[in-house]
Amino acid sequence: MEFVTYQVEGRIGIITINRPKALNALNSKVLEELDKTLDGVELNTVRALIITGAGEKSFVAGADISEMCALTKAEGEAFGKKGNDVFRKIETFPIPVIAAINGYALGGGCELSLSCDIRICSENAIFGQPEVGLGITPGFGGTQRLARIVGIGMAKEMIYGARSIKAEEAYRIGLVNQVYPLEELMVAAKKMAEAIAKNAPIAVRNCKKAIDDGLQVDMDQAISIEEKLFGNCFQTEDQKEGMSAFLEKRKVETFFNK
């Protein structure tokens, strides 16, 4: 891969967007490589993913403006679909995905982080959807996910005004869960991923599915989604082990993902 690296550390997978010359901007090749990288994640062993950007300045500075510049209407729509398909794959990825935002998260970069389950960032992070200043709308899910995460009014203010915000404000409005000094960001991301990875993996996956699927339907259906996924856990060995360990007053050594 030219622009995306993937490394596994124990039970954690780390995907790095690595195109520093363009501040990790997303061109078609980066999107294709990201897609392939996700397809290659070994779900039997990897229990949480981290997505970050290479370097100390930028997570992802957006979709590639030089690639988009001359697109036709149909090509623009196809480019939007390409990004949306990959980001939807991240959003519905079976295991939790943490965005470790190490600098600019603009346009498609902000949208990439929005497709992740959890966002944490460094103190130098800057978030924004500057698209209207370029004559376009956000195109990789920003008009949909930002409002769901920070609320309609704040999302509209940011998107209509192309207003970028710093880490501190991102924290205040709930766009990120935590802010760290840059040098501590990946340590914190790995610690968070490890805290997830040590729990019963099927239960964690079912939680992700229950939360995400439940938010798309009314409360009666949502509760029924939870009931099914809750019930599903009782056919796992990990449920037997987790509950036996509690009753026998011992710690679970490891969950087996079955």
Q: Which residues are catalytic?
A: 111, 131
φ/ψ region of 49 (left if φ > 0, alpha if ψ in -120 to 50, else beta) reads beta
Separation CA 196–CA 204 (nearest Å): 8
Three-class secondary structure of residue 76 per DSSP: helix
The smaller minimum CB distance to ligand CAA, of residues 59 and 171, is found at 59
Query: Binders of ligand CAA: how many residues, by CB under 6 A?
Result: 22
| Among positions 53, 62, 96, 201, the unique one binding ligand CAA when judged by CB under 6 A | 62
Please tell me whether residue 125 binds ligand CAA under the rule CB under 6 A: no
Please tell me whether residue 13 binds ligand CAA under the rule CB under 6 A: no
Three-class secondary structure of residue 171 per DSSP: helix
Please tell me whether residue 33 binds ligand CAA under the rule CB under 6 A: no
The smaller minimum CB distance to ligand CAA, of residues 33 and 64, is found at 64
Please tell me whether residue 23 binds ligand CAA under the rule CB under 6 A: yes
Quick check: 76 and 68 in contact, CB under 8 A? yes
| Among positions 134, 147, 222, 233, the unique one binding ligand CAA when judged by CB under 6 A | 134
Separation CA 96–CA 116 (nearest Å): 8
**Total residues belonging to the chain:** 258
Separation CA 252–CA 238 (nearest Å): 9
Please tell me whether residue 238 binds ligand CAA under the rule CB under 6 A: no
Strands 165-166 and 118-122: what pairing? unpaired
Please tell me whether residue 87 binds ligand CAA under the rule CB under 6 A: no
Greatest Cα pair distance, the chain, in angstroms, is 66
Please tell me whether residue 120 binds ligand CAA under the rule CB under 6 A: no
Please tell me whether residue 30 binds ligand CAA under the rule CB under 6 A: no
Please tell me whether residue 53 binds ligand CAA under the rule CB under 6 A: no
Residues in contact with ligand CAA by CB under 6 A are 22-23, 25, 61-66, 83, 104, 106-108, 111, 130-131, 134, 138-140, 142
